[in-house]
Chains A and B, each alone.
Chain A
Amino acid sequence: EVQLVESGGGLVQPGRSLRLSCAASGVTFDAYAMHWVRQVAGKGLEWVSGINWNSGKIDYADSVKGRFTISRDNAKNSLYLQMNSLRAEDTALYYCVKADCGSNSCNFDLWGQGTLVTVSS
């Protein structure tokens, strides 16, 4: 079955760290870019970070730059998001998303079900 499964969410105090993981199955993981997208309850979607197939291009939203680090392990078919210096405004459901991008197209075609991060004292 083709799927992405996120894990690692939970309750964390402000200023602390958390590491999210995303396990891919049924896809040729090392052929695709991967992204993290988050959603505050009842609000819209926010792109957080993306990484290309070989980790050669990594991008971040301004809201997380310098605090979050995206990485991947193609041998383990896994994507990660290291989140440091967490703030209350980072509280959200975090989705792992696969993106099939070529020279003239980009297709965010597969989403996980999300893992919930709550930052609170």
Chain B
Amino acid sequence: QTVVTQEPSLTVSPGGTVTLTCGSSTGAVTSGHYANWFQQKPGQAPRALIYSTSYKHSWTPARFSASLLGGKGALTLSGVQPEDEADYYCLLYYRDAWVFGGGTKLTVL
């Protein structure tokens, strides 16, 4: 069974920079995993932030960026705002199935 791994929790100060990662139990994450990143706030449906590793949606704030880093997918927030406090999930493609990471709870403190 494929497992996608994310940091359970991270804390960042307002204005700071933080990187969330997304690893795969099958090996390095590549462009072929079409990594998607989502933000979810309490009581809300997930909101798409990033698709296909690094592409932003029109509504994705410029402070969010994504890439492949050290064999993992990575989501970087630069100049973090209080409203960025949320759960973040990555999603990877494995030929005939998609698998979500367990999510990262980002605290802005």
Contact = CB atoms under 8 A, between A and B. Distances in A.
B51 A109 contact: yes
Interface string B62-94: 000000000000000000000000010101010
A44 to B, nearest CB: 4
Contacts of A111: 45-48
Given A44-B89, A44-B103, A109 B98 contact: no
Contacts of A47: 91, 97-100
Contacts of B89: 44-45
Contacts of B55: 105, 107
Contact of B102 (A37, A44, A60, A114): A44
Interface size class on chain A is 20 to 34
Q: Do most interface residues of chain A lie in helix, strand or loop, or is the interface mixed?
A: strand
A45 B34 contact: no
B36 A107 contact: yes
A24 B31 CA distance: 29
B25 interface: no
19 contacts: A44-B87, A44-B103, A45-B40, A45-B91, A47-B97, A59-B97, A62-B1, A62-B97, A95-B45, A105-B51, A106-B52, A106-B93, A107-B48, A108-B51, A109-B51, A109-B57, A111-B46, A111-B48, A114-B45
Interface of B: 1, 31, 34, 36, 38, 40, 45-48, 51-52, 55, 57, 87, 89, 91, 93, 96-103
